[in-house]
Amino acid sequence: MKKITPILFSLYCLLSFSQTNQEDFSRMVEAEMKSAATTMNLQVNPNTQNYDITYHELRFTVDPNNTTPYISGVVKTTFTALSNMSTVTFDMATALVVSSVTMNSANLTFSQANYELVINLPTTLSAGNSATVIITYAGSPPQTQGAFTRSTHNGTPVIFTLSEPYGARDWWPCKQDLNDKVNMVDIYVTAPSAYVSVANGFEQSVTTVGSNKTTYFKHSYPIPAYLVAIAVTNYQIYNQQGGLGTPISPYFPIINYLYPESYSSATAATQLGTTPIIINLYESILEPYPFRNEKYGHAQFGWGGGMEHTTVSFMGSFGRDLIAHEMAHQWFGDKITCGTWKDIWLNEGLTEYMAGLVYENLDGAAAFVSWKADKITNITSQTAGYVYLQDSDLTNVNRIFSSRLTYNKGSMITHMLRWKMGDTAFFQALRNYLADPSLAYGYAVTTNLKSHLENVYGSSLTEFFNDWLYNQGYPSYNIVAQNWGAGQAKITVNQTQSDASVSFFEMPLQIRFTGAGGVIHDVVIDNTSNGQQFVVSVPFTVTGVEFDPNKHIISKNNTVTLGNDIFELESTISLYPIPSNTQLHVQLPTNIELVQVEIYNSLGQLVAIHTNEDMDISNLNSGVHFAKIVTSQGTFHKNFIKK
């Protein structure tokens, strides 16, 4: 079991912003708002912080035929004391009436009030020791958060649960603060024999007694209370197979629980055909599916959107974007869960980016560019907003589940990290993050991911995180390009920011040059300051220029200008970057050879001589210097600033 201070959970949604997906997106947002109170109670329950839960045996009896939602249960919980305890407290709706609590077959006294079940232990349980209690209860779960729902589909009743973020306590006694993953859980669901039951983990057995049958599921991976889920109706099972099938990574079952009307129409089965393709893609990019010893699958339920319950996502529909998003949560959200509400982007941003990689890998580069363009359009529809939440945001579900910031900007920040680091380093860092034994099947915060990214990248990413994650807004670029001698072009970059919290966004920028006959040449420049100039090689005369053609950067209102001036030889020779701290480069037309560069300080004293175009100036004093550039076609003078 892993512990951390209050954690979040998130209900995840499909976030494609093409016109055809707007209706699905609206349903997704509506589902999120239904599943959480407008104002969240983020206060950790201090009465549940003195123990760790290590095991649950959950026995639930439900009947979809009852028009009033009702559940009876027997919950066996093993816990370890973190300090000496004379009572143990569980989160539990007062509407659920406890009839008995036992320990070692002896009855214990207890009380219920204010969403708590307080059990009096027979003797003081010392820190480090464990105990097991068995709670028997029954009642109608509260309907305020929709955690336990009785509905119908095509005239047939269905029961399903969705406990985000504090709903588990509405239908079973648990530790609801989302800071304690249970090592293992056994789930027994008893329902009328005409129905099929679904739960986390792998089905172990089905036992029929009279008119009821009990289905037993075992889940042997750590899981928080909010991801425990059950559903019961007349499901039709549709089986698939996932996995890349190597000796190290064998196949695993994909089990889909469909409403019969969806199964018979063949539409759902056709849509689900993408499931093995996507999960195999994710395995090839990341690592083996984290719960492959059990199953993956989907269970149809009555809300729009979906919910990534561990090993079985509850789905309102089966569009590819939704399948991709909920599935990716099995890695980012279920295996590693973000450790605070402020870090929600670790679940939603990373997951939504994985859904974007489906476009890139299955549909091609142009579709991926379009996906990113849609994200950027939505992100820049407003000029401000943090991705990493502030304390003042934590009572506002609309802000926590902001599609623009948490999902879309979070996903584009993920892409910009990939763009900055390069594919090899970025994906290796993600794999290292997922494999970290201190994080795997536990909780993580942003600094955990940042450390893994930096370890592989080899450089600090503090500037990047400060600009894009912790502060607000986006840049607008002014790009001026000019033909600059034979086989060269000069680029001048200026930038403004939409929000004053960031003084400058440092990023590598892609510039595309076009020439006669439609020829294309892309260059990447590392933009670190305003007014920065670059001279780059281009194998043709430039007739057109485009900024960020592949949509690697969040930006808006960019202007790009191609200058038409004809330059004298003096103008085609330049020094860059200016200002510079350690390295200075002299740029010459391809038909001119460098003899030497003499560098003078502001007093006119000769301080260095270089014979190469790349010069180390780290030993120079800060301030203005003068360069005498001696070439095969004459001598030229340039000024530069040493930082």
Task: State phi, psi for 549 to the nearest 5 degrees.
Answer: -65, -25
- Output the pLDDT for position 145: 80
CATH architecture of 44-232: Sandwich (2.60)
CB neighbours of residue 206 within 10 Å? 12
Task: State phi, psi for 528 to the nearest 5 degrees.
Answer: -120, -5
Mean pLDDT of 225-233: 96
The pair of three-digit structure tokens given for residue 615, joined into one six-digit string: 């010069």
pLDDT higher than threshold 70 for residue 18 = no
Percent of the chain predicted with pLDDT > 90: 77
SS (H, E, C) 45-106: CHHHCCEEEEEEEEEEECCCCCCCCCEEEEEEEEEEECCCEEEEEEECCCCCEEEEEEECCE
- What distance in Å separates the CA atoms of residue 586 and residue 589, rounded to the nearest whole number? 10
Mean pLDDT of 395-415: 91
Question: Shortest CA distance to 356 belongs to which of 328, 315, 316?
Answer: 328
- Output the pLDDT for position 343: 94
pLDDT higher than threshold 90 for residue 137 = yes
Q: Is 396 exposed, middle or buried (0-12, 13-18, 19+ CB in 10 A)?
A: middle
pLDDT higher than threshold 50 for residue 561 = yes
Mean pLDDT of 75-97: 98
Three-point CA angle 441, 443, 445, nearest 5°: 145
Mean pLDDT of 446-470: 98
- Output the pLDDT for position 43: 60
SS (H, E, C) 8-24: CCCCCCCCCCCHHHHHH
- Cβ–Cβ under 8 Å, residues 169 and 92: yes
- Output the pLDDT for position 444: 95
pLDDT tens digits along 336-373: 998 888 999 999 999 999 999 999 999 999 999 999 99
Q: Quick one: residue 347, left, alpha or beta (phi over 0 = left, psi -120 to 50 = alpha)?
A: alpha
State which amino acid sits at residue 122.
P
- What distance in Å separates the CA atoms of residue 279 and residue 602, rounded to the nearest whole number? 63
pLDDT higher than threshold 50 for residue 35 = no
Long-range contacts: 514-522, Cβ < 8 Å, 24+? 514/542, 514/543, 514/544, 514/545, 514/546, 515/540, 515/541, 515/542, 515/543, 515/544, 516/540, 516/541, 516/543, 522/549
- Output the pLDDT for position 2: 34
Domain covering 473-567, topology: Immunoglobulin-like (2.60.40)
- Output the pLDDT for position 569: 64
- What distance in Å separates the CA atoms of residue 283 and residue 279, rounded to the nearest whole number? 6
pLDDT higher than threshold 50 for residue 254 = yes
The pair of three-digit structure tokens given for residue 171, joined into one six-digit string: 């239908």
Lowest-confidence region among 65-74, 175-184, 354-363, 553-562: 175-184
Lowest-confidence region among 172-186, 427-441, 506-520: 172-186
Percent of the chain predicted with pLDDT > 70: 92
DSSP 8-state assignment for residue 294: T
CATH of domain 578-643: 2.60.40.10
CATH of domain 338-470: 1.10.390.10
The pair of three-digit structure tokens given for residue 552, joined into one six-digit string: 């690697």
- Residues 6 or more apart from 517 whose CB is under 8 A from it? none
pLDDT higher than threshold 80 for residue 16 = no
The pair of three-digit structure tokens given for residue 412, joined into one six-digit string: 């584009």
Q: How confident is the model at residue 565 (pLDDT cuts 50, 70, 90)?
A: low
Mean pLDDT of 410-422: 98
C-alpha to C-alpha distances, 470 to 391, 448, 465, nearest whole angstrom: 13, 15, 6
pLDDT higher than threshold 50 for residue 26 = no
Question: Shortest CA distance to 137 belongs to which of 174, 185, 182?
Answer: 174
- 44-232 and 578-643: identical CATH topology: yes
Per-domain residue ranges for the chain? 44-232, 338-470, 473-567, 578-643
When the pLDDT of each residue in the chain is averaged and rounded to a whole number, the result is: 91
- Output the pLDDT for position 634: 74
Which stretches does DSSP call E strand in 82-195? 85-91, 97-103, 106-107, 110-113, 116-125, 130-139, 148-153, 156-161, 184-192
Question: Shortest CA distance to 528 belongs to which of 500, 495, 555, 554?
Answer: 495
* Residue 238, strand partner residues: 256
The pair of three-digit structure tokens given for residue 227, joined into one six-digit string: 């991801």
Which stretches does DSSP call E strand in 456-506? 475-483, 488-497
- Output the pLDDT for position 104: 97
Question: Shortest CA distance to 252 belongs to which of 282, 214, 285?
Answer: 282
- What distance in Å separates the CA atoms of residue 169 and residue 9, rounded to the nearest whole number? 14
pLDDT higher than threshold 70 for residue 329 = yes
Q: Quick one: residue 361, left, alpha or beta (phi over 0 = left, psi -120 to 50 = alpha)?
A: alpha
- Cβ–Cβ under 8 Å, residues 505 and 467: yes
- Using the Cα atoms of residue 402, residue 406, residue 412 and residue 416 in order, give the sign of their dihedral: positive
- Output the pLDDT for position 168: 94
pLDDT higher than threshold 90 for residue 25 = no
The pair of three-digit structure tokens given for residue 120, joined into one six-digit string: 């009096």
